[in-house]
Structure 1
């Protein structure tokens, strides 16, 4: 009886344990050959390096673009004398009305006057509720604002033309080369690596909040620079 039990136990250990608990070396060799490990690992490293390269290249491109925007803005400010500042964006219902009102408040008791306009053909549009409510946190009232389309006369009158992005500059170039000589990029004075302040139209409230914060950062710095010009 003991021999039978002992034999049965031995058979159980031999037949069950290796098959159900231990993975034979042959199984691993067939399922995960060394060549596959090398190729998979190499592919992942290659993809990672490509992603890093694109990211660095993109960042350097943005930095170069921003440097150009700052140079152009500096030239415009160096030539300017206190007068009218025209703040532009595409639709004149988000960025430019906020920037114009905020800038005007910061330049009170100076010789600078601030106006806003847009390139969109429809006029008399009001700001959306999200923008109106967000502006209040910066002591800016946009409830009575109505959009205006920029005119050649307004561009001629302006001493400085504040823009939000490269699209604004391209549209402005269609008017005249003289207008380009007055350009100031608002993002050139914000703590960003990009020269553009994104258009928040159709974006979430959270994104709108981020954009307005970036915009306000540039406005405050620009206002300080303009006060020096005014003195």
Structure 2
């Protein structure tokens, strides 16, 4: 089974939304051989997804209310076949700390579209920003699912 890991800063906004959206997309396409996880480079272990992330995905019919943040660690990186970060900053932090991931790490947009652009950070910016981030993520994930 292939494992995909989504990474952001605190694992309460972008990566948790990515995990929820991708699990839903895989389920709708009846793809069962992919395990999806998320974590944060500076996450506080055990926090729930942000209220806004939960609300935005609820509008999509996806429930991430049980999500709990995880801090990235070597084991999680080693177990992952593909690591998708929300920004080039996240990617660079992981490459400096864990050079072993260099063959399997990309920004989300880099893997989807071949351009290393960041997913906007909605943290503290209200529901509109969360919806924009969700739309960016969803567009990328729809390309990525075709590559699996």
TM-score, length-scaled by structure 2:
0.87
Which residue of structure 2 lines up, in the alignment, with residue 203 of structure 1? 125
Return the offset for 1:204: 2.8
1:155 aligns with 2:77: yes
Distance 1:102 1:200 in 2: 16
Residue deviations 1:102-128, cap 9 Å, x none?
112222333111111111142111122
Structure 2 residues not aligned, in runs of 5+: none
1:135 aligns with 2:57: yes
Return the offset for 1:218: 0.5
Distance 1:143 1:98 in 2: 11
User: What is the count of residue pairs matched by the alignment?
Assistant: 144
- 1:8-157 alignment, distance < 5 Å: 83-108=2-27, 109-157=31-79
Cα distance, 1:126–1:224 mapped onto 2, change above 3 Å: same
Residue deviations 1:121-176, cap 9 Å, x none?
42111122221111112222111111110110000010110111111112111332
Which residue of structure 2 lines up, in the alignment, with residue 222 of structure 1? 144
Distance 1:151 1:194 in 2: 23
Instruction: Tell me which protein shows more helix as a share of its residues.
Output: 1
Which is greater in Rg? 1
Mapped contact 1:169–1:180 kept (Cα < 8 A): no
Cα distance, 1:213–1:182 mapped onto 2, change above 3 Å: same
Return the offset for 1:98: 1.1
Structure 1 residues not aligned, in runs of 5+: 1-81, 227-231
Distance 2:126 2:102 in 1: 32
Higher relative contact order (CA 8 A, sep 6+): 2
TM-score, length-scaled by structure 1:
0.58
Instruction: Tell me which protein shows more strand as a share of its residues.
Output: 2
Distance 1:183 1:96 in 2: 14
